[in-house]
Structure 1
Amino acid sequence: MALKDIRVLIVDDEVFFLKVLRDTLEKIGFTVAGEAGDGTEAVQKFQALRPHVIIMDIYMIEKNGIDATRDIMALDGNAKVIIASASDADYDTQAALDVGAKVILKKPFVPKEVYECIKFALTGKR
């Protein structure tokens, strides 16, 4: 599958990070299928858009990334969720992995790490 064929839903309540991630994904060659500003909207957009990958912020005011990931995984156990976080709190990132996230992507975003995380989420290979 070509990079442009891989559709990514990005979820963050901070417009700055949505823009940075959109720009990064598009420069790499991925297609941004949509954006959501909170976990509730993320679940709705996931159902409507059926992206290949979701990159989701962990901390959001309306439904956090852990709860949204749990809801998405209940809808589709094969969903590929990447949790984006600036936090070094192991308990939060572990909670995200426990509910079904495939990998943690650290903020600030580095293009190579974004690519590697998506590749891992899709294939399970580094």
Structure 2
Amino acid sequence: MSNLRFLVVDDAIFMRTVLKKMLSEEGFEVVGEAGNGIDAIQMAAKLKPDIVTLDITMPEMDGIKAVPEILKVSPDSKIIMCSALGQQAMVVDAIKKGAKDFIVKPFEKSRVLQAINNVMSR
């Protein structure tokens, strides 16, 4: 499972850095990163990542709107939503649109790995 390829999407560079560090420490490959939903769709189309970690609240296009568009251009990608506390309704909306799991900020490595295992075992 360590050969999984990730696209990390968050408008906060700090959050992308934290997540990329966690993933690379586990032997995963981060093939790209984006700061909004529009860039995420373009990168998903080009990179076809195994897993996309997708922030909910971003400028230009939020994660909720990006979910179905990412799945159109990269149907095999699994999407894990990244949410702040109090965004449960938006997470449910994203899952209805095709996201497979979610993690809450600040990220706990054990929960990130659990979400990865969850989406890859489905």
Q: TM-score range by the shorter chain?
A: over 0.9
2:36 and 2:62 in contact (8 A); partners too: yes
- Which residue does 2:100 correspond to in 1? 102
Which whole-Å deviations, capped at 9, do the CAs of 1:79-100 have from their partners, x for residues lacking one?
Answer: 2000001132321111111110
2:69 alignment counterpart: 71
Aligned residues: 122
Q: Which runs of 5+ in 2 are unaligned?
A: none
Structure 1 unaligned runs (5+)?
none
Quote the residue 2:39 is aligned against.
41
Superposed displacement of residue 111, structure 1 = 1.0
- The residue number in structure 2 matching 1:84 is 82
What residue is the counterpart of 1:11 in the other structure?
9
- Return the letter of the residue paired with 2:49: P
How far does residue 31 in structure 1 lie from its aligned partner after superposition? 0.7
CA contact (8 A) 2:45 2:74 kept: no
Which residue type is aligned with residue 37 of structure 1?
G
Residue of structure 1 aligned with 2:23, choices 22, 25, 28: 25
Percent identity for Structure 1 against Structure 2: 34
Q: Secondary structure at the match of 1:44?
A: helix
CA deviations 1:17-52 (Å, max 9, x no partner) are 011011111112111111011000000000111110
- TM-score in terms of structure 2 length: 0.94
Q: Choose 68-77 or 24-33, whichever is displaced more.
A: 68-77
Contact preservation (8 Å) 1:28, 1:111: no
CA contact (8 A) 1:13 1:60 kept: yes
Aligned-partner Cα distance in 1 for 2:38–2:92: 21
Alpha-carbon separation, structure 1, partners of 2:53 and 2:27: 15
- 1:123 to partner: Cα distance: 1.2
Q: CA RMSD in A?
A: 1.2
Match of 1:56 in 2: 54
